[in-house]
Amino acid sequence: MPRTLIELETKLEKLSVLDEAGNLDKELEPEISDDFLKALFRAMLLGRRFDERLLSLQRQGRIGTFPPTTGQEAAQLGAVAALQPEDWMAPSFRETVAEVWRGKSMESIIIHNNGFSEGDDADAKFNNLPVSVPVASQTLHAVGIAWALKYRKMPRVAMTFFGDGATSEGDFHEALNFAGVFQVPVVFVCQNNHWAISVPLARQTRSRTLAQKAAAYGIPGIQVDGNDILAVYSAAREAVQRARDGGGPTLIECVTYRLQMHTTADDPKRYRSDEEVEVWRKRDPIPRFQTYLMDKGIFSEEDVKTLEASIKDEIQQAVDRAEERMKALGAPLTMFDHAYATTPPHLEEQKRYLKTLLSVGGKEAQHG
Amino acid sequence: MPRTLIELETKLEKLSVLDEAGNLDKELEPEISDDFLKALFRAMLLGRRFDERLLSLQRQGRIGTFPPTTGQEAAQLGAVAALQPEDWMAPSFRETVAEVWRGKSMESIIIHNNGFSEGDDADAKFNNLPVSVPVASQTLHAVGIAWALKYRKMPRVAMTFFGDGATSEGDFHEALNFAGVFQVPVVFVCQNNHWAISVPLARQTRSRTLAQKAAAYGIPGIQVDGNDILAVYSAAREAVQRARDGGGPTLIECVTYRLQMHTTADDPKRYRSDEEVEVWRKRDPIPRFQTYLMDKGIFSEEDVKTLEASIKDEIQQAVDRAEERMKALGAPLTMFDHAYATTPPHLEEQKRYLKTLLSVGGKEAQHG
Amino acid sequence: MAKLNMVQALNLALRQEMEQDDSVIVLGEDVGKDGGVFRVTDGLAEAFGEDRSRDTPLAESGIVGMAVGMAVAGLKPVCEIQFSGFSYHNFHQIENHAARYRMRSQGRYHVPMVLRTPYGGGVRALEHHSESREVYWSHMPGVKMVIPSSPRNARALLVSAIRDPDPVIFYESKALYRAFREEVPEEEETFPIGKSRRIREGDDLTLIAYGAMLRRALEAAERLKEESGIEADVIDLLTLSPLDDTLFVDSVKRTGHAVVIHEAPLSYGPGAEIAARIAEKAFYYLEAPVARVTGYDVVIPLFARENDYIPSVERIVRESRKLLEKI
Amino acid sequence: MAKLNMVQALNLALRQEMEQDDSVIVLGEDVGKDGGVFRVTDGLAEAFGEDRSRDTPLAESGIVGMAVGMAVAGLKPVCEIQFSGFSYHNFHQIENHAARYRMRSQGRYHVPMVLRTPYGGGVRALEHHSESREVYWSHMPGVKMVIPSSPRNARALLVSAIRDPDPVIFYESKALYRAFREEVPEEEETFPIGKSRRIREGDDLTLIAYGAMLRRALEAAERLKEESGIEADVIDLLTLSPLDDTLFVDSVKRTGHAVVIHEAPLSYGPGAEIAARIAEKAFYYLEAPVARVTGYDVVIPLFARENDYIPSVERIVRESRKLLEKI
Ligand SMILES: Cc1ncc(C[n+]2csc(CCOP(=O)(O)OP(=O)(O)O)c2C)c(N)n1
Ligand SMILES: Cc1ncc(C[n+]2csc(CCOP(=O)(O)OP(=O)(O)O)c2C)c(N)n1
Ligand SMILES: [Mg+2]
Ligand SMILES: [Mg+2]
C-alpha cells in the first residue's frame, strides 16, 4: 500500500465464437466431430419442437403449468455436451433440453407436467438430480456431490444450472464460496436469460456481468454468448476439464434470452416490450448453428427437413405413450410410498385410513 | 468479444496511512482536528481498558460470556467516527468500542453481559440497533434502514459491522446485492480479524481480499489497514460522504486481528499459535496511533498517564453503578413485557400463572 | 359495495392503506409492474410509484431482512413472498429478528411489518406451491399468524395487519383467490387480529376451520343438516396466533363434539393445539375426543393427487357423523 | 464400561461410526481442530483427517445444502449446527430438500444425513443460544426428530441416526452435555428411532418428557412419591417424530392422568400433539385433561431470568398434584 488497486487471483473473461449471423471466429472454433455436431443440432431442434408441443398441450389443458425453454437451447446443450453420463447434473426447473440430452424421456416430462410423481423417474445411466424448484438451492447440492466425488477420488464432475435471478439468492453465494474453499469439481452454469419472471437483469444486480461474481470466490469466471453453442461448449469443456483435473470450480455465465413466457401462467406483455423480444429472436441459437453446419458442408436444407419429420414423429410417440401410461396412474395411496425408507406406523395408519375412505366413497368420498 | 477480459465498473482499492511503527504517509493524512484526534485516542484506550476489565469480571464470575474487542479498536472507531449521531449503526456482537463511542453506557453493557435485558437500553440521541448475534443477519437491516432514509430523503446513512466469517453467509450477499441495486446510503464495514472462532480466513473464502467481493455487486470496495485508525477513518469518511451524497453503498474491509479469545468460552490455543498472535501484537493499533499523536506534538507521555487514571475511574464507576442497579433487577414477570405492543390474553393468563407460582413458592417454586 | 374476489379485496386493502399512509411500502418479487404472480399488487406501482410497490432481487431473506430494517426505521413494509414454500428462506429473519426487536430493544424499536404469502393446495401447481405450514409461524413467539377465509375478511384483516405494530404473517389461500366473490364495502373496514368468528349456529357439533377449509366446513355443515338433520356450529379461526379460544370453547361446551379441519399435516398440526385447548377448557363437556380432519403426515403430492390429500367435504361429513354416532 | 458425560458419549458414537464406515463425514463450523464449541467432535479431525471432520465456512444453509448433496451421492454426512437458534438459516434446505429427495426422485435418491444441534436453556448463554423449537422439525414430513435424555441413550440414538437412511434432526440439550455421567458400553449399542421408553413405573399419574426435562420429570416423580405417596409412570419420548404413542397411551389408560413437560413454548408446542393423541386414543380413560407444563409463549428471556421460564421440578410437582386433586 498506500492507495493501490486490488489484483484478482483469477481471470474474468468473455467469449464468443459464432456471431449472430453464424459467422465463425476461426481461431476459437472448438474441435468437435461432425457426428457430435449433428447430434447437438438434432437435440436443439428437438428441444425447440418439444417446447412448442408442450405449449400447445398446455393450452389444450392436456398438461399443467410448465417453464418453456425456447431460445435457451444452446446454453443448455453446449454445457451438458461437455459432460459424461456418469457426471452429475443438478438442474433447476428450466433445463428440459439438457435433461432430454441426458436420458430423460419426453414421455416422463409430460407425465411430470401432469402432476404425477411417476414422471420423475430417470435414466439410471445418467446421474441427474430431479428438477429443483426453489431457486438456487440445488447449487449447494452440486457442491456436496462434487465434494463426495473428490473425497472418493472419482474422476467425475458435477454441473449445476440456474438463472440470472438465482444469483441473488444466498444459496448461490454459499455454494460458490464453499466450492472455492473446497476446490471441488463443480461447474456453475448460469443461464442469464435477462429476466427473472418480470424482473430484468438490471434490477437483479448492479454488477455489469454475472461472470464477475466469481471474483468474490477467487474462482475463474467466464461470460459466453449463450446463444452460440460453440462458445458455450468451449467454455464448458474447459471448465469440466479443469474440474476433472483437480483445478476446482468455474462460473460460466451464458448470455441468452427467454423468448417465451416465464411459465405458462405468466404474461410477459405485462413487463417487456415486443421490440426487445424481436431483437433477441434475431439472435436465435438454432439458425445460427444451422448456418455454421451448412457453411461447414455437413448439413443441408434437405437434412433439416428429414430431421424435422423424424423429430415430429418422436414427439408424437412420446405424447401418445405418456397419455396411455397416465390412464393407469393416479392411485392416491402412492403418496405414502417414498416418504421414508420404511413407512412408520403412523403413516401406515393414515394410509389404511385413506384406503378405507377411498373404498367407502369411491373417488367421490375424497374429492371436495 | 471474442476472448477478452471483463472490466469492472467500480474500483477495488487498498489503503494504508500509518505504518506499523506509526510512520505517516503524509500525502494520505486525513484532516482531523486535534480535539477529535484526542477524543479518538481516549475512546481507543477506554475500549482497551474496559475490555480488560470485562475479562477480569468474567473470570471472577461477575459477568457471563462476552466477546472481547482487544486489537480491533481502530477498525471500529475509525468507522463510527465518520458518523453523525442521527446516522444509524447496525452492529454485530463485537462492537463494544463503537457502541460506547455512540452513547452506550459501559454500565448497560455490564448489565447486558449479566443476562439482563435491561442492559439493552441505549442513548436515545443515537440511532443504534441492539447487538445482533446471528452472524451477518443485521446487514440486511442496515439496508432496510438505508432504504427508508433514502425514501424519506433524509441526509443520513446506515453503517453496519460484521466479521470476516460473516462474508460467507447468504445474508451478507443478499444485503450487498440489495444495496447495490437500490443504491441506498449504507456502509458495510467488515472487521476482518482473520478468525471466525477457530476457522482462519483462508478457509473462509478463496478470495484473496474481502474487499474484492464488492465486484459481485457493482459497488466500490476498499481494503484498509484496520489497525491504522487514520486509514479506516479516511475510507469511512469517504464512503459515508458518498452515501450521504446519493452515491450508494461501499464495502470497507478493515484488516485487523482478534488478539483475545473469540468469547470467554473459547480457548484459542486449540487452533492458533502464539507466534501468530505475537506478530499481530506488534501491529497493535493503540501504540501506533499514540506515536502519531506524539510525533504531531499534541500528546505527551504525561497526557497518557492522566488519561489512564481518568479512564480507570470511569470504568470503576460504571462497574459500581451496574452492580448497584442489578440488585434491583431480576423480576421474572418482565419477560412478558415487550413481546407485543399489547399483551394478548393468553400471555396475560401465562403472566398471572407465573405470578401465582412465584407467590406460592417464592423463588424456590420456580427454580429446578 | 362491490362484489370482489379475494385478490381484488386484498388489492383494495393495500391500495387504501397506501393512499392514507405513505409509510406503507409493498415489496417482493414481481410485485411491481407484474402486479404479483397472483395480481394482488396489480396497479399499485402505477398508482403510487415503483418505490411504493417495490420489485426486489430474487432473495427472500433479503426481502424480509430489508423489511425488518425498514420497519425499525419507521416504515410499514408489506412483503410478498411469492409462495409460502419459499418463506423458509426467510425463516431466520422472522424468528431471530422480526419477532424480537421489540423485546431485544426493550421496546425502543418494533417491527410493524406484514409478510403476505399464498399457501395451500388446490390450484394444480408445481412442487413447493401447495403446502400448508402455518404451525411454524403459530408456534413462534413474537409474531402473529392470520389466515382469512373470504374476500371481505381478507380485506379487513389485511388492513388490521398493516396497522398492527407487530409483525404479522398473513397466509392467503391460493384456492380462495378467485373462488368466489363477496360484497366488500368501499369504506374502511378492519377486523381485530386475535379474534375468531362464529359463522353458523348449531347445537350438535362444532366445526373449527380457517382459510380454504372454512368453506368446506360450511358446505359440510349444510350437508349434515340436509342429510342427517345435524346442526353444526362453525367457527372460523381467522387468527391462529394469538389464538382466540373463547368461541370454540364455548361452542364445545354446548355441543360436546368438535371437529377441527386443516390442510396442514396431522402431527403437531394446528388441530393439536385446538384439541388440547378444548380438553383443557371444556373437558367435562366433551362427549368424544376432538376429531382432526387434516392433511396426512407426508408432503402434499404433486397436483394429480393433491385432492386426495386435502380434506374433502365428504370426509368432514363422514368424520362428523362418526363422531356423533359415538355419543 | 466407562462413565461418560453426554459430550463424551456423543463423541464415542461419532468415533466408532467413523471408524467403521468411511462414508460418515462430520461437517460444520469449528468441528475440526476446535472439536466443536462444545467439544462433541473433539479429536475426530486428528484421528480421521480434516476431511472427515470438516470445518466449513460460516454458512448454515451451505453446510446443510452441501450435506444434502453429499448424502445423495452416497455419503453419510453428520452436520453440526452450532446452536439450534441458527438452524433456521438452513430451514429451507431441510424442508424443501432433505425431506423430499426420496419422494421427488421416486426412491432413486435418499438423504441419509444427520443434523446435530444443541438446543434448550440452562447454560447462561447469549440470545439465540437457549431456545427449544423442536416442533418445527416434528411437524415436517420426511424428516425424523430425535432428542436424547442421557449419555447412554444419546450415544445409542446417534448411532441409529447415522445409520438411518433418512434425514434425522438430532437435538442435544446443552444443559445435559456435562450434567452427569452414565455407564456407556464400549461395544456397539443402538436404540430404535421412533420408540419411546418407560423410565419409571407408577399407577397414579403419567409424566411425559424428553431431553433435559426428562430428568426434571424423574426428580418430580421422586418428590411426588416421597412427599405425597404418588407413584408416577415416567415416559421418555426420545423420538418426537415419528411419535411413538403406544407407551404413553397405555400408561394413561392405567393412570387416567398425564402431565407433559417441555421447554418449548406452550401454544402449538409438542405437548399439544401429545395431549391430542391421548385424547384420541385414551379418551374414556382420562380423568382430567392432560396438563402441559411448558415454556411460556414468549422468547426465552436472557439468562438472568431463564430459570423462571424453563419448567422447574417444583412446578411439575405442583401441577401434578393439582391434576390429581381434581379426581
Ligand atoms: C426460492 C424461490 N423463490 C421464488 C421462486 C418463484 N420463482 C420461480 S422461478 C423465478 C424466477 C427465476 O429467475 P431466474 O433465476 O432468472 O431463472 P429463469 O426463470 O429465468 O430461468 C421465481 C421468482 C422460487 N421458485 N424459489
Ligand atoms: C448464523 C450464525 N451462525 C453461527 C453463529 C455462532 N458464531 C458466533 S460468532 C461466530 C464466528 C463469527 O466470525 P466473524 O464473522 O469473523 O466475526 P468475529 O467473531 O471474528 O468478530 C460464530 C460461528 C452465529 N452467531 N450466527
Ligand atoms: Mg432468468
Ligand atoms: Mg472474524
**pLDDT above 50: residue A7:** yes
**pLDDT above 60: residue D136:** yes
Q: How do residues D101-113 score in pLDDT, each as one tens digit?
A: 999 999 999 999 9
CA distances from B288 to A65, B227, B292 (A): 65, 8, 6
Mean predicted confidence (pLDDT) in A248-272: 97
| CA atoms in the 13 A half-sphere facing the CB of B259 | 19
> The complex's ipTM?
0.98
Interface check D190 vs A, CB under 8 A? no
Angle, helices A73-80 vs A229-244, to 10°: value is: 30
Q: How many A from CA of C58 to the centre of ligand 1?
A: 7
Please list, in sequence order, all residues whose beta carbon lies within 8 angstroms of the beta carbon of residue B334, skipping any fewer than 6 positions away. B117, D301, D305
Residues of chain B contacting D62 with CB distance shorter than 8 Å? 168, 170
CA distances from D155 to D113, D237, D238 (A): 16, 16, 12
> Which three cell numbers mark B218?
457493482
On whether the pTM is more than 0.90, the answer is yes
Mean predicted confidence (pLDDT) in A269-277: 97
Quote the pLDDT of residue C137. Answer: 98
Q: How do residues D219-236 score in pLDDT, each as one tens digit?
A: 999 999 999 999 999 999
- Cβ of D124 within 8 Å of Cβ of B271? The answer is no
Mean predicted confidence (pLDDT) in B217-242: 98
Quote the pLDDT of residue A159. Answer: 99
Nearest CA in chain C to B87: C73
- Cβ of B335 within 8 Å of Cβ of D59? The answer is no
Q: How many A from CA of A10 to the centre of ligand 1?
A: 29
Decide: B137 and C93 in contact? Cβ < 8 Å: yes
Mean predicted confidence (pLDDT) in C185-207: 98
Residues of chain D contacting A347 with CB distance shorter than 8 Å? 242
Quote the pLDDT of residue A121. Answer: 83
Mean predicted confidence (pLDDT) in B142-157: 98
Q: How do residues A167-199 score in pLDDT, each as one tens digit?
A: 999 999 999 999 999 999 999 999 999 999 999
Quote the pLDDT of residue B123. Answer: 87
- Cβ of A180 within 8 Å of Cβ of B217? The answer is no
Nearest CA in chain C to A264: C125
Quote the pLDDT of residue A231. Answer: 98
Q: Tell me the average pLDDT of chain C.
A: 97
Quote the pLDDT of residue B366. Answer: 46
Which residues face D79 on adjacent strands? D27, D115
Q: How do residues C265-299 score in pLDDT, each as one tens digit?
A: 999 999 999 999 999 999 999 999 999 999 999 99
Residues of chain C contacting B143 with CB distance shorter than 8 Å? 62, 65-66, 69
Residues having CB within 6 Å of any atom of ligand 2: B 94, 133-135, 162-166, 193, 195-197, 258, 262; D 29, 58, 60, 82, 86, 89
Could you say which DSSP state residue A18 is in? B
Q: How do residues D153-171 score in pLDDT, each as one tens digit?
A: 999 999 999 999 999 999 9
Q: Which of A157, A160, A172, A340 would best serve as a mutation to test chain D binding (most D beta carbons within 10 A)?
A: A340
Quote the pLDDT of residue D1. Answer: 75
Q: How do residues D33-85 score in pLDDT, each as one tens digit?
A: 999 999 999 999 999 999 999 999 999 999 999 999 999 999 999 999 999 99
> Which three cell numbers mark D227?
412427599
Mean predicted confidence (pLDDT) in B192-207: 98
**pLDDT above 60: residue C326:** no
Quote the pLDDT of residue A368. Answer: 41
CA distances from A75 to A55, A96, A286 (A): 20, 12, 11
Q: How do residues D238-247 score in pLDDT, each as one tens digit?
A: 999 999 999 9
Which stretch of DSSP H or E encloses residue B144? helix B137-151
**pLDDT above 90: residue B78:** yes
**pLDDT above 60: residue A1:** no
pLDDT band at C302 (very low <50, low <70, confident <90, very high): very high
Quote the pLDDT of residue B1. Answer: 53
- Cβ of B115 within 8 Å of Cβ of D33? The answer is no
Mean predicted confidence (pLDDT) in C150-160: 98
Quote the pLDDT of residue C327. Answer: 38
- Give per-residue burial for D93-118: e unless 16+ CB within 10 Å, then b: bbbbbbbbbbbbbbebbbbbbbbbbb
**pLDDT above 70: residue D310:** yes
Nearest CA in chain C to A118: C302
Mean predicted confidence (pLDDT) in C35-64: 98
* Amino acid (one-letter) located at C160: S
Q: Are strands C205-209 and C24-28 parallel, antiparallel or unpaired?
A: unpaired
Could you say which DSSP state residue D303 is in? G
Q: Tell me the average pLDDT of chain B.
A: 96
Other CB atoms within 10 A of residue C183 CB: 10
Interface check A216 vs C, CB under 8 A? no
| CA atoms in the 13 A half-sphere facing the CB of C240 | 34
Active-site annotation of A, residues: 258, 262, 271
pLDDT above 90: percentage of residues in chain D: 98
Q: How do residues C91-148 score in pLDDT, each as one tens digit?
A: 999 999 999 999 999 999 999 999 999 999 999 999 999 999 999 999 999 999 999 9
Mean predicted confidence (pLDDT) in A62-68: 97
Quote the pLDDT of residue C150. Answer: 98
**pLDDT above 60: residue B363:** no
pLDDT band at A120 (very low <50, low <70, confident <90, very high): confident
Q: Which residue has the higher pLDDT, C326 or C139?
A: C139
Torsion of CA B73, B78, B82, B83, to 10 degrees: -20
Q: Which of B135, B266, B280 has the most ligand 2 atoms within 8 A of CB, as the residue to mutate? A: B135
pLDDT band at A103 (very low <50, low <70, confident <90, very high): very high
- Cβ of B339 within 8 Å of Cβ of C165? The answer is no
Q: How many A from CA of C77 to the centre of ligand 2?
A: 29
Mean predicted confidence (pLDDT) in B225-229: 98
Q: How many A from CA of B218 to the centre of ligand 1?
A: 22
Q: Tell me the average pLDDT of chain A.
A: 96
Quote the pLDDT of residue A122. Answer: 81
| CA atoms in the 13 A half-sphere facing the CB of B78 | 35
pLDDT band at B368 (very low <50, low <70, confident <90, very high): very low
